Structure formats: C-alpha cells, structure tokens
Chains A and B, each alone.
Chain A
Amino acid sequence: MTPHPLELRRIRKSFSGVKVLKDIDLVLPDKGAILGLVGENGAGKSTLMNVLGGVLPRDSGELLLDGLPYHPAGPVDADRAGIAIIHQELNLFSNMTIAENLYLTGAPGTRLHLLSYRAMNRAARAELARVGLDLNPATRVSELSMGVRQLVEIAKALSREARIVVFDEPTTSLATHEKERLFRLIRELSEKGVSIIYISHALDDVLALCHHVAVLRDGTLVGQSPVREMTKERMIAMMVGRKLDQLFPWVPKRPGEVLLRVDGLGQGSIFRDVSLGLRAGEIVGMFGLMGAGRSELLRAVYGVDPFDAGRVLFRGAPVRRPEPSWWVEHGVAYITENRREEGLLMPKTVKENLVLANLRRLRRTLGAVDTRREERESEEAIGRLRIKTYDKARQAVRMLSGGNQQKVVIGKWLVTRPTVFLVDEPTRGVDVGAKFEIYSHLNALAGEGSAVLFVSSEMEELMGVCDRILVLSRGRLAGELARPEFDQHRLLELAIGGHDARSVA
C-alpha cells in the first residue's frame, strides 16, 4: 500500500501548561488530495501548521512524509522536505521585484555569488507561467494586487518543488474572479500530484473545493471525512460543538428617530454625493465591492480623514468638524476594518485595550483613574463577549486569536455604551461561533435603541442580520434594499452596475 503523503500521529503541543494540540491524528490520504481544515479561531489550526512547517517543535507525536519520519528543526527543513505554507499575510517583500522574491535564497545563473538578473528573470517568467501569470518578473511586488501577489507566493512554493502546499485563509483579500483563478490553480496542482491543505472559514468554498474535510475544535480533531459525507451544518456543529439553530439572529424592530445623518458627502473621486440616515434601533447594512469607498466613507464621517463636500448631522445638528474624540464623547463608536493598526494597541494588555475608549469616564478627582471601575468594566466586557484570555491584566492582545482580538475591539466600544455603532467588517478573520456572538451583540444593541451601520463584503451576513442594505458602487449610492427585497443577485447587480444615485434616508 502506498504510504500517505502526510500523516500526523498523536501530535501534542502545549504552551506553558496550556494544551493547544491534543493527540491530533491527521491524514492526507493520497497524493493530490485536497484536505480542507476548518475550526474556530483558537482551535489550533495555525499551531498545527506551524508544527508541520517546522516553525514550532511538537511536544510529542510523529510526523510522516510518504511514510518516512519527518522531524523539522526549522522552516528550512520543511522547505527542503517539500512543504510550503502560504500564509494569510503573504511572505513577500513589497519593495523587491517578483524575481527577487522568488529567488530569495538562491537564483539560477548565479556565478561566484554574483547574480545574473537576466537568468533570474528568465527563470522567473517560466515559474510565473506555471501559475498562469504573464507578468514581467522585474515588476515590484508593491505594484501587484493581493490576488496576484498570492499567485506569486504560490509560484515561489512551486519553484521549490513543494509536494504539499498549505493555504491559510487564502481568500479573505481576494476579489471573486481572483478566487476562481485560485481555485482553478489549486485543482490543477491537485491533478499534478501536489497535495493541498486548505484552511478557511469560508465553509462553502471548502465544500466546493476539497476532497476531504477535517474539523478541529479546542485542539482536538473532531472528525475527518470525505467531502461528500460533509454538510455545512455538520461542519458547524462539529466546530462549535453545539447546534446553531440560526446562523444569523434577526428580530423585527421599530426604528426611531434619525440619530446620524449624512448629506451629500464627498471625498475627491473616492466617493461623491452620499446621503444616508441611521435611525435608532435599526441595523443598516452597507454592501459594495472592493474599491467602492465604504471604508473611506466611514473614516470621513468619523473624522479620521477629511471630506470636501457635504455635511454630517448628529441628532439633527450639523457637526462642524467631525473628530473621533467628539464622536466618542457623544456616544458614537467606530470599529475599523484594520484592528491591528487602528483598533488595538497590540503590545498592551487586554484590560488596557478594553478601557481605552472609555478613559474620560474613569476620571476621578485630580484626574486619577478609577481603578475599581476599570476592573469591573473590563471584566464585564470579557464576560459578555466571552473573550478568551488567561489574564486580562497580563496578556498582550497580540497573543490572542483574531476572533478574540476582534471581540476586544468590540468590547472596548461596548463599555462606552454607544448610541450609534459604525462597524467595518467586524467578522473578518473571525470563526463561526464568534461571528454568531457578534451578530447577537449587534442585535442586542439595536434592541436597546442604538443605530448600527454594518459595512461588509459578505452578502450572506448582511442579508441575515440587517433591516435594510445600502449598496455603494464606485463611490456612489447605487440603491437600497429593504428586508423583504433582499436578494443576492440584486445586491451584486447594484454593486457592480450603475449608480442609481437616489439619496436614501
């Protein structure tokens, strides 16, 4: 019997007494198999891949490649063994060219340590062709889109004769056509005998692409089966260990007065003439394709970036120069789409991050911090959002999983008890269980009378959670759909197509 291309036996890994991987038995059954690996954030997927890739040593257990023991002492060993990992945040140097990135560790045609750019570029062209790219290898990576960069990363992997390629959340920054191109490539690789491990939160994609699916939960492999025996519901149930009756909680609401209004707002050529109104007690979605200007709109409203036309009104009164500190004072919260650089203080602790937006309310005499209230509020936020941290006063948020980090950002704003919540992609990089929790919290906020503006690229979640959806297309409001009218095709049509620039309130 031919040995499996990859086999993991009873892999264990702990960090300071915390068991992160518990007796994992995982198998890539045949050459060319595509194995989907799913699990909540914090389930251990990244750790497992780090063990495979030689980045982390395992505590016990065996790794077998084609039946032979595999003990990587570092990533170099993994590379030599033919294992390539394509991370979510790509490992490319944006200031170097494609060819330079491909041949970081050694280029063809090098003599006496002197590089031959001609030989390098020529070889690079061939590698790029393998992934279907027809580009000048002397192009700087900084000029490439995320989708193309990912293909370059794959070309790099292939040039190192990878036999197993691991994709870690490859589609979060891809446009639809790029995703399809990626899938085509993965299927080609599979046919050529390259085995694939595909990690993703996009369960539909996993079902569509993979031959087998393995589910991790809390460091344990809950199950592995061929894809035809898997359904989305089953995957979710295995991932969270309980049945989610609904993926998206929604309750009918009665919206009240308009809390936040935007009138003819414009910013250069990025967005123009955008008008909308947010009423108390409603969840308004904003859909659009990449580049539509949604995030830029939110940033302009919040005062992070300037706008050059139109105005913003809060509770009927125009806001002269919107500034984040003003909004925070008046109970308007903004969750950015970039939590690492704009939502969190990464090296600081969970507790420090949770109280960040509420500092002014923690002031006692002489400006001293009300430490008791600080403790109480941060503890409350952790409980309400079920943030997983071993010590909120000691653990830096950069150690938390993506989903937990996002919860910290949300928690930070929840303690300020906002009446208006502007959220930009709140569930990006967040696992299914946490997503549901986040939707529930948004619902609860709306139930208490807050207004929520929910910007997202995921039609499904918008249709599931929102009361109405605005569509932004190339900087203009293309239309609005009320809940009874929700339809994926219509949304996409509006997002791609023309501008039906009615103002929506």
Chain B
Amino acid sequence: MSVDRAERTGEAAAEPAPAAPEQARPRPEGPARAGPGGSGGFRRWFEVHVASSVERVSMLAFAVFLLGSILFVPKFANPVNLGNMLVQCTDLIILACGMTFVFMNGGIDFSVTAVLALGSVTGAAVMQHGGGSPASVAEAIAAMLGIGLGIGALNGLMVTRLRMPSFIATMASQLIFSGAALWWTQSSTIGGIPRSFLAIGRGRVLGVEVPILVMVAVVAACAGLLHRTVFGRCVFAVGTNHRTSRISGIPVRRTIFQLFILCGGLAAVAAIVMTARSGAGMPGLGKSMLMDIVGAVVIGGTAVTGGKGSILGTATGAALIIALNNSLNLLGIEWYVINALKGGMITLVALLGVVQAKGDV
C-alpha cells in the first residue's frame, strides 16, 4: 500500500502493523507440514493426510460413528431405521449444498427456512386451486422454484447492491417471508395435494426412492459446479480475496449474486421434496433445521470465513448430523442433550480449522 495513500486518507495502516506479528513468524520456504520419513511416521501421515483437511476428519468421524452405532445402538441397523435416516438426509443435504455456496463467500443465508415455508404453502395453494390437475402441478413446481430463486435474488441484490452484510439481509428476508407464509395461511396447513405431486416424495424409480435420486443429482451437480467449472473457480477466488479477484477480471458482484440464487433455488428444490413427502403445504416447514444446515456445512470443512469448501464434505457433515440425531435418539438421550453434543462437535471442528490454518502459515 503506497505510503502516500495512507497518509492522505488518514487510514490506520492496518496492513503493516497487525500483519507484522505474523511476519515475525517463520516463513518456511518448504512445506509447513512434515515430509516423508522420520520418527512417528503414522503421526506424520495422519497430520498430512487427515488432520490437514477438516473434511477428511469428518469422514473419518462419520465412518467411526456409523460403525459404532451399528454395533452398539439397538435398532440402529434396522433397515427401516436406515431407510428413514437416508430420507432425512435428502432434505438436509439439498439445503446444505445450497448453503455451502453462500458460506464460500463468508456469508450465511437465514432465509432458506422462509423459502421452505412460503414455497410449500404457495405450491400447495396453487395445486389446490387448480384442482390437482397435472397443469397445476407443473405450475406449482414453477411457482415454488420461482419463490426460491426470487428470494435468493433479493438476498443477492441486498448484499451486492445495498452492501448489506448477508447476516442482516437474509435475516430480514427470513422474517418477512416466513411471516408472510404464516399470515397468509393463518398458521394452518394447506391440503389438496394430488397424487402426482406426492409421487415426488414417496414414489420410486427403478426401486430407488425419488427424493434420494434428487439428492444424488443435486450433490453431483453442485460438486461439479463448485469443483470443476470456471464458475466454481471464481467462487473460490472471490471467497478468498475480493480485491485480487476483481482486479484479475473476475465479476465479483455477479458471482456473489449467483451464490444466493443457487442457495434459494436449492432451498426451493428441498421445499418441493419435503412438501411432497409431508403431503401438505406447511407454513412451518423446516423451521428448526437451520442449525443442522449450518452444522452440516461447517463440519463438512467449509471455512466460515470463505474461500474453502467442498460439497462432498458438506454431504458427509449432513450424514453425520443425521446419524447423530438418530442414533442418540434411539439411545433415549433427550433432544436438548443431543443439541449440546452437536454444538460441541461444531466447536471442535472450528478448533480443528484454526489448528489447520496455523499450520499453513
């Protein structure tokens, strides 16, 4: 930063001074983590391949937990129970995938639950109004997607044009739109959903339940989008440093806008699947899911500050949370204790993220 600018604007040169203590730290020319050989080979291997990635730790934890539950928790390995869990996973994973994109920019989207609520009741109303005809089903799906994309676009505009922090902007959307859903339905559910729509939630294609197919498609599409496309690279860059990205020619504002649209759109997909399964338009759909969604994303290794993340990690995080909920519930542990445990896990993950970041320096 040129000295003249600092002097002129009277800006506290936050860049030289607080950065300095880090400068005093060693800047090794080689990799910070251990190389091959030496004592404690396993420890090193562990450090390099496992602890260096929160995502991998979560996968390990999930595998361990799953195994433990299968072995020690009665009725866990019951096929009906496993089937339930898988279905619960679908909702959470679809929502968490969308949230991952927003987190990549260091933001958050509180309004996903509002998309669920408003989408659900709107879709149901459209179908009820249309007498359950196939046309009304198509219209309902279009309307629900429209709501998700619309709320996402609104969030995106607030964040990119009005420069509101996502925290505030999406909280505002959440209050407005879930409030709207509640007011409109007077807190009651909307029925009259035709069989054809319910098939989305309960039907099977080639023996596999439709929600699971949707989930797999969503995960594959999101993973491809984030990790293999130019857009995905832009997301990583923008989440790391806005200024560098902008100067390098990356459309920062447009990218951020698209992140919110993705999140809203995927929330709408979740609304479709969840409404189809529950069989009615519910203004309270997914009301308490936010913590699990955020937990899934964070445990999956997406850094809260942005710039780092993985869809597969998010899916693992979601699976771990569902397994946790389910297994501990089967053990008879109360919901608030389960919540406390989940909170503890999220804290551990955050700590691991800090340790890992220090090692990178």
- Determine whether A420 belongs to the interface, using a CB cutoff of 8 Å to chain B: no
Contact of B360 among A345, A363, A396 (CB under 8 A): A396
Taking a contact as CB atoms under 8 Å apart, the answer to whether B17 and A94 are in contact is yes
Report Cα–Cα, A302/B12, bound state, in Å: 25
Kindly state the separation between the CA atoms of A362 and B25 in the bound complex, as whole angstroms: 37
Within A32-67, the residues touching B (CB, 8 Å) are 42, 46-47, 50, 53, 55-56
Our pick among B2, B17, B232, B307 for the contact of A92 (Cβ within 8 Å) is B17
For B11, the chain A residues whose CB sits under 8 A away are 142
Q: Which residue of A has the minimal Cβ distance to B231? A: A367
Q: Chain B contacts of A75 at CB under 8 A?
A: 24
Given A89-B20, A390-B30, decide whether A290 and B3 contact each other with a Cβ distance below 8 A: yes
**Does A6 belong to the interface (CB within 8 Å)?**
no
Stretch at the interface among A15-23, A257-265, A379-387, A461-469: A15-23
CB nearest neighbor in B for A328:
B249
Query: Is there an interface contact between A89 and B16, defined as CB atoms closer than 8 Å?
Result: yes
- B-facing mask of A282-320, CB < 8 A → 1, else 0? 000000001111011000001010000000000000000
Residue A138 CB within 8 A of the other chain: no
User: Contacts of B229 on A, CB cut-off 8 Å?
Assistant: 366-369
Chain A residue with the shortest CB-CB distance to B307 = A347
Give complex CA distance A10, B236 in Å.
44
Residue among B4, B24, B35 having the largest count of chain A Cβ atoms under 10 Å: B4
Q: Give the docked Cα–Cα distance between A75 and B24 (Å).
A: 9
B332, CB-defined interface residue at 8 Å = no
Q: Determine how close the nearest CB of chain B comes to the CB of A352; give it in whole angstroms.
A: 7
Report B311 CB to chain A, min CB distance, Å: 15
A93 touching B30 in the complex, CB below 8 Å, given contacts A348-B240, A367-B231: no
Q: Does A230 contact B (CB under 8 A)?
A: no
A95 to B230, CA, bound (A): 41
User: Using a CB-CB cutoff of 8 Å, which residues 315-339 of chain A contact chain B?
Assistant: 324-325, 327-329, 334, 336-338
Q: Is the CB of B230 within 8 A of A327?
A: no
* Docked-complex contact A329 and B249, CB < 8 angstroms: yes
Is B29 touching A89 in the complex (CB atoms < 8 A)? no
Among B3, B30, B245, B248, the residue within 8 A (CB) of A16 is B30
A346 interface contact, C-beta 8 A: yes
User: Assuming A295-B2, A327-B249, A337-B2, is B228 touching A345 (CB within 8 A)?
Assistant: no
Shortest CB distance A221–B (Å):
17
Q: Are B26 and A56 within 8 A (Cβ)? A: yes
A352 near B20 with CB under 8 A, answer no
Asked whether, in the complex, the Cβ of B29 is within 8 Å of the Cβ of A325, the reply is: no
Q: Are A359 and B250 in contact (CB under 8 A)?
A: yes
List the B side residues contacting A327 at CB < 8 Å.
249
A212 → B minimal CB distance (Å): 26
Docked Cα-Cα span, A341 to B245, in Å, equals 10
User: How close is A158's CB to chain B, nearest CB, in angstroms?
Assistant: 18
Interface size class of A (residues with CB under 8 A): 35 or more
| B334 at interface, CB cutoff 8 A | no
Bound-complex Cα distance A46 to B24 (A): 10
Is B244 located at the chain interface by the 8 A CB criterion?
yes
Shortest distance between the CB of B195 and any CB in chain A (Å): 35
Q: Hey, what's the 0/1 contact readout for B199-237 against A, CB within 8 Å counting as 1?
A: 000000000000000000000000011001111111011
Do residues B248 and A328 form an inter-chain contact, with CB atoms below 8 A?
yes
Give bound CA distance, A62 to B21, whole Å.
Answer: 26
Q: Is A357 a contact partner of B249 (Cβ separation < 8 A)?
A: yes
Least CB distance, A373 to chain B, in whole angstroms? 12
Q: CA of A40 to CA of B137 in the docked complex: distance in angstroms? A: 70
Q: What B residues does A141 contact at CB under 8 A? A: 17
Roughly how many angstroms separate A285 CA and B251 CA in the complex, as a whole number? 30
Confirm or deny: A401 has a beta carbon within 8 angstroms of a beta carbon on chain B: yes
Q: Which residues of A in the span 357-409 have a Cβ within 8 Å of any Cβ on B? A: 357, 359-360, 362-363, 366-369, 390, 394-396, 398-399, 401
> B23 contacts which chain A residues (CB < 8 A)?
87-89, 91
Within 8 A of A (CB), among B65-117: none
Contact of A390 among B24, B31, B230, B231 (CB under 8 A): B31
B22 to chain A, nearest CB (A): 9
**B67 nearest CB across to chain A (Å):** 32
Q: Tell me the bound Cα distance from A324 to B248 in angstroms.
A: 7
Q: Do residues A146 and B228 form an inter-chain contact, with CB atoms below 8 A?
A: no
In-complex Cβ contact of B16 among A46, A94, A143, A356 (8 A) = A94
Of A329, A341, A362, most buried by chain B (CB within 10 Å of CB) is A341
In this complex, what residue of A is CB-closest to B33? A16
A270 to B2, CA, bound (A): 13
A15 near B5: Cβ-Cβ < 8 Å: no
Interface centre among A55, A92, A346, A359 (most CB of B within 10 A): A359
CB neighbours of B6 from chain A (8 A):
146
A176 contacts B by Cβ under 8 Å: no
Cβ contacts under 8 Å, A292 to chain B: 4
Contacts of B5 in A (CB 8 A): 295-296
A362 to B234, CA, bound (A): 12
Would you give the 0/1 interface string for B13-43, flagging 1 where the beta carbon is closer than 8 Å to chain A?
Answer: 1111111110111111111111100000000
Cα–Cα, bound, A186→B229 (Å): 55
- List residues of chain A with CB within 8 A of the CB of B243: 341-342
**B8 and A55 contacting across the interface, CB-CB below 8 Å:** no
Flag if A302 contacts B16 (CB, 8 Å): no
Show 30 A/B contacts (Cβ-Cβ < 8 Å), sorted by A.
Answer: A15-B29, A15-B30, A16-B33, A16-B34, A17-B30, A55-B25, A85-B24, A89-B20, A90-B16, A91-B17, A94-B16, A95-B12, A145-B3, A304-B247, A325-B249, A341-B244, A342-B243, A342-B247, A344-B241, A357-B248, A359-B230, A360-B230, A367-B225, A367-B231, A368-B229, A369-B230, A398-B360, A398-B361, A399-B28, A399-B32
Q: Given A328-B248, A345-B244, A401-B29, 12 more contacts at CB 8 Å?
A: A16-B28, A16-B30, A20-B29, A87-B20, A142-B11, A291-B8, A344-B241, A347-B240, A352-B236, A359-B249, A369-B230, A399-B29
Using a CB–CB cutoff of 8 Å, the interface residues on chain A facing chain B are 14-18, 20, 42, 46-47, 50, 53, 55-56, 75, 85, 87-95, 141-143, 145-146, 149, 173, 270, 290-293, 295-296, 302, 304, 324-325, 327-329, 334, 336-338, 341-348, 352, 355-357, 359-360, 362-363, 366-369, 390, 394-396, 398-399, 401, 412
Closest 4 CB pairs of A and B: A328-B249, A291-B4, A15-B30, A142-B12
